[in-house]
Structures are given as C-alpha cells and as structure tokens.
Amino acid sequence: MQNRLLNFCFYSVLALTFINCANRGTISGGEKDITPPEIEYSTPPNFSKNFKSNEIRIYFNEYVKTKDLTKQLVISPPMKTKPEITPLGTASKYIKIKIFDTLPPNTTFAINFGNSIVDNNEGNPYPYYRYVFSTGDYIDSLSVKGSVMDALERETDPFISVNLYEADTTYTDSIVYKENPKYITNTLDSTTNFKLENLKAGKYKLVAIKDNNSNITFEQKSDKIGFYEDFITVSNDTTPFYKLKLFKENLDYKAENARLISGEKIAFGFQGKDYKKMKIDILSNVPEDFEYKYIKDQETDSLNYYYKPKLEVDSLVFKVTNRKIIDTFTVRIKDNKKDSLLVKSSPTSTIGMYDPLKLWSNIPITKFDEKQIKIIDKDSVNIAFTSKLDTLQNTVELQFEKTQDHGYKVQLLPNTITDFFEATNDTLNYTLRTEKEASLGSARVIIKNAEYPLIVQFVDKKGEVKYEQYTTEARPLDFFFLKPGEYYLRVIFDSNKNGVFDPGSFLQNRQAERVSYSKKVAEIRSGWEVIVDFTLD
C-alpha cells in the first residue's frame, strides 16, 4: 500500500512538472491592445466654474504616461509660469497638474494635451484631450477655425502654434515679439487645420508661428510666421474659416561681429540678405599706401576684409554702414600667418549643358586674364567662351557651348588670376564631361490661366530646385537635358518682377508671393519628352 502511494506521488509530481514545462513554452500574448485609456473622473471636474484650486488630477481606468508632452501641450491663455505636469516618463493611474500662477478672474482656460497621454502598455493615445475651467461663473464658448499651409514648400511643418492677440488699446505689431497671446492652439502633426475654442467675444489679430524655440513669442531668425491681414472679430454672428500661409521672413540686416581670422584678414559678420549695401571704413590712422578689399565668404554670413601693408598695431577700429545703420567695431590684431591663394572649381566632373564652369578664389581677385585660358574638346578643338567676374562673390564664370556625351579640358595658365597680395596661380587643369542624350529627358510645360511674370521650377521631393525658367508671357516652356526622376512643378507669381520668391513681412503687413504646385508628379524618363499641363486656380 505504501509503495502504491509513493508511486502515485512520484507520477503526480512528474506529470505536474511536464504540465508546467508545457505551459511555459506555449503562453500566448493574445490580441494586441488597441483600446485607448478612458477617463474615470477628474478633480475638480472638467468644465468647472469659479475655479480656485491649484492642483488638478485626472484619473484613468489603466496606467498611463505622457509622450512628447513639450511638443503637444498647449495652455490657452498661456500662464506666466508653466504648470508642473506629472508623471513624466513613468506610469500612473492619474495625471497631476500643479498650477503656480495666481489666475486672473473671469477667465476661461483650456489645457490641451493633444495626443500626449498614452496607455503604458501599447502607447494607445487618449486623443485630443482638453481640460477646461473658468475662474468666473461662466465658460466662454466662442471659437475660430482655419487652416495653415506653407507659402513656399509643398508640405507644411507639424506643430504650428496659432495665436490670437487681443486688439485692445495696448496692441502694437511688436506684440508677437514680446508678449504671450491671449489664446493659443496648435495644428499637431496629423492635420494643418486648427480650432481655437472657449474664446471671449472681441477683436483679435490672428497669427500662426512655427515656434522652433518653444517660447511662444516670434523670433525672426528661427521661426516661420503667417497672419491674417485684418483684425478678426469673434462673435456669435459669424464663424468664417481663415486660411493662413506660413513663411520664413527675410532677416533684417544686422552687423554682428568683427574678428581677425588670419594675417591681414578680418571677418565682418552680419545677418540678412542686404549685405551688398554694406560699406566698411577704417577709422584708425593708416599709412598713405594702405589698401583694402572685401569679398563675401562662401560658407558663412560674413564679409572678409583684406588689407595691406601689414600694420604693427594692437587693434584697428572700423565703421560699418548699411544705409542709415552704423556700427563701430574694434578688432584686436595679432601676428597671424596670411592665407595662400587657393582656386576651386564647380562642377568638378559632370557639367550640365547650360551650366557654366565657376571658379572661386579665397583671396580677392584683382586681375583676371582670360587670354591665359584654353578650353578644348575631346578632339583637341579650341572652344570659344565668355567670362564674367563677380568682384563681391569673388567668382569667375566661364560659359561655353557644349554637345552631348562630350569631354572638355579647361586649362588656366600661370598668372591667369592675380590676388590682392599679388600672388598668382600655377597651371590649373579641369576635366569635364556632358552626359549622354539618351540618359536624359525633356519636358514641355504648358501653363493656363496664369498672371505673368512667373518663375517656373521643377523641384524634387525634398523641395530643392533642380531646373528653373522665367517667363513674362503665355508660351510653352521647354526644359531640356533633365535628369530622370520624379519632380513637382512649382510656379511662383513674381508680383514685384525681381526674379526671386519674396516672403512676406509681418511688420509691413505683407503676404508672401503666391505659389502653386502641380497635383501630379512629373516623371522624367531617359530619352523621353513629357508634356506637363498646369491649369492654375
């Protein structure tokens, strides 16, 4: 009997062991959880009136956490001190909002979480949650709707702030640079539409900002801006749909710094595109044979100022003038080594049928002798060319006729280029080649219902301009020798007839020039010609 009992126990333990092993190997995770968390309650309740608390708790039916909170959280109107929101990165069954400000009376606040509240396991978001409360005895209920699109680019940035500034007696255009808006929302990342809710009736300025510094105010150097030209009226009577176009303003000119970077070479930094009107004058005493010349740096926003002879001084004082703006700089002078003449070319191998060979020197070019240049093709035939010297950019462009699938040799004999310090080049040789006609494509562009002049461009998916023509009249535009690929056709309405796209200006209340994109991609194939019909709205 005892042996039977022992055998029974042994086999029972053995069976349980096999069952446990089998269970470990066959556990299934089941179906993936796609259900978002649910709110059970909040304290104080959402849409509370006469709000006096300094802490809000929102309870969920499961553990949640926040994701991309700094990008998606929008508090309208903004508080001077940002509330503390927890948890950050860890999981909890509630979200806590700690308020530090003394809130103004009779004001409706909305805390927009976007899609930042997600469940702990699968990251399912609680979509577009808003906690609303009022410090008065009513909740403001008016709203403004609209959309934001980029004025130049095909795709619009995500997370664009849309702001309302109250147009009261204290309003000035500079408010976007200095003050927080009265109301704020954003477009998140899934749509370019926006909706400002829980607004008080009144007159406002409607402004969109791509805020790259997360400080709500507009910074011209880093942010994009869009705006509605006139003040808008928020009331019960009308609910129009506002369309805003976002653009990067041209930077206002500003002289930034001046520093010695090598022997007899000083860099004068600036911001903005208006550098061509900069004038640099030396205020220090210099000898009668003193000479100077400055050129635009190829890589940085600065003018490189070269001078001779070498001066045995501790510092030099300069006046930099641009129209009515005057700046003075003192530059410490050291015994640094001078730069040596360096000449670069672009392109370096394959050259386009209509592209010039561009030569660039790191030191100002004072003499250029095109008689010292030879261009020959693969059959050793001399090719005629024209040259153009740009003294500010310090470049020389060599333009010559080319044929398909052909090789060219460009030679600069000694003394072709003489720089500011009287140095000259040694023999320079460049080998170039055009592509085969069979490997390229072409396109005829027919534009209908247009106002001229137009800048017509083929841009790639990254938005880079690959080919461009300018037209002042209705005619077919032929683009030859195009590299195969997919392009979008972009048309810029050049309203001021200066040949470039001009963004708008908030302070001047000027919108960016109109831009239209073709809806279909133009596919360029080797050896093919495509016809692109583009009817403008």
Q: Which of 9-23, 24-38, 486-500 has the lowest mean pLDDT?
A: 9-23
For residue 214, what pLDDT band results from cuts at 50, 70 and 90? Answer: confident
Radius of gyration of the chain (CA): 33
The pLDDT value given to residue 188: 72
The pLDDT value given to residue 7: 52
The larger pLDDT score, comparing residue 325 to residue 188, is at: 325
Closest CA to 454 of 376, 508, 516, 392: 516
Average pLDDT of the chain is 91
**Cβ–Cβ < 8 Å for 86, 57:** no
For residue 22, what pLDDT band results from cuts at 50, 70 and 90? Answer: very low
For residue 88, what pLDDT band results from cuts at 50, 70 and 90? Answer: confident
The pLDDT value given to residue 58: 97
Sorted by where each begins, the domain ranges of the chain are 39-134, 142-246, 254-332, 343-435, 438-535
CATH fold, domain 142-246, is Immunoglobulin-like (2.60.40)
Kindly state the average pLDDT of the residues 448-453: 94
Structure confidence by residue, pLDDT tens digits, 326-380: 999 999 999 999 999 999 999 999 999 999 999 999 999 999 999 999 999 988 9
Cα atoms in the Cβ-side hemisphere of radius 13 Å centred on 530: 20
**Token pair in block for residue 304:** 């490189």
Segment (H or E) for 197: strand 193-199
Kindly state the average pLDDT of the residues 104-123: 92
Kindly state the average pLDDT of the residues 235-242: 87
Q: What architecture (CATH level 2) is domain 254-332? A: Sandwich (2.60)
DSSP letter (8 states) at residue 216: S
The pLDDT value given to residue 31: 64
Kindly state the average pLDDT of the residues 166-195: 89
Structure confidence by residue, pLDDT tens digits, 502-514: 999 999 999 999 9
| Rounded distance between C-alpha atoms, residue 43 and residue 58, angstroms | 7
The pLDDT value given to residue 89: 76
For residue 128, what pLDDT band results from cuts at 50, 70 and 90? Answer: confident
Prediction pTM value: 0.83
Cis peptide before 287 (omega within 30 of 0): no
Kindly state the average pLDDT of the residues 213-231: 92
Kindly state the average pLDDT of the residues 262-283: 95
The pLDDT value given to residue 5: 45
pLDDT at 11 over 70: no
CB atoms < 10 A from the CB of 320, how many?
19
Q: What architecture (CATH level 2) is domain 39-134? A: Sandwich (2.60)
For residue 29, what pLDDT band results from cuts at 50, 70 and 90? Answer: low
Kindly state the average pLDDT of the residues 396-416: 96
Q: For the purposes of burial, counting CB atoms within 10 Å of the CB of 23, is it exposed (0-12), middle (13-18) or buried (19 or more)? A: exposed
| Rounded distance between C-alpha atoms, residue 243 and residue 222, angstroms | 23
pLDDT at 149 over 60: yes
Q: Which residue has the tokens 């708790």?
A: 57
CB atoms < 10 A from the CB of 524, how many?
23
The larger pLDDT score, comparing residue 247 to residue 379, is at: 247
**Token pair in block for residue 270:** 């600036």
**Cβ–Cβ < 8 Å for 116, 128:** no
pLDDT at 10 over 70: no
Q: Which of 26-35, 114-123, 256-265, 402-411 has the lowest mean pLDDT?
A: 26-35
Structure confidence by residue, pLDDT tens digits, 34-47: 788 999 999 999 99
Q: Which CATH number fits domain 438-535: 3.40.50.2300, 2.60.40.1120, 2.40.110.10, 3.40.50.1820?
A: 2.60.40.1120
- Does the fold of domain 254-332 match that of domain 39-134? yes
Kindly state the average pLDDT of the residues 448-457: 95
Distances (CA, A) of 70 to 20, 114, 402: 47, 11, 55
Kindly state the average pLDDT of the residues 196-217: 91
Distances (CA, A) of 276 to 4, 78, 259, 392: 106, 41, 20, 8
Phi then psi for residue 408, to 5 deg, are -140, 145
Percentage of residues of the chain with pLDDT beyond 90: 82
For residue 159, what pLDDT band results from cuts at 50, 70 and 90? Answer: confident
Q: For the purposes of burial, counting CB atoms within 10 Å of the CB of 35, is it exposed (0-12), middle (13-18) or buried (19 or more)? A: exposed
CATH fold, domain 343-435, is Immunoglobulin-like (2.60.40)
Phi then psi for residue 426, to 5 deg, are -85, 180
**Token pair in block for residue 500:** 């470039």
For residue 28, what pLDDT band results from cuts at 50, 70 and 90? Answer: very low
| Rounded distance between C-alpha atoms, residue 353 and residue 401, angstroms | 8
The pLDDT value given to residue 191: 79
Structure confidence by residue, pLDDT tens digits, 59-86: 999 999 998 888 888 999 999 899 999 9
CB atoms < 10 A from the CB of 4, how many?
8
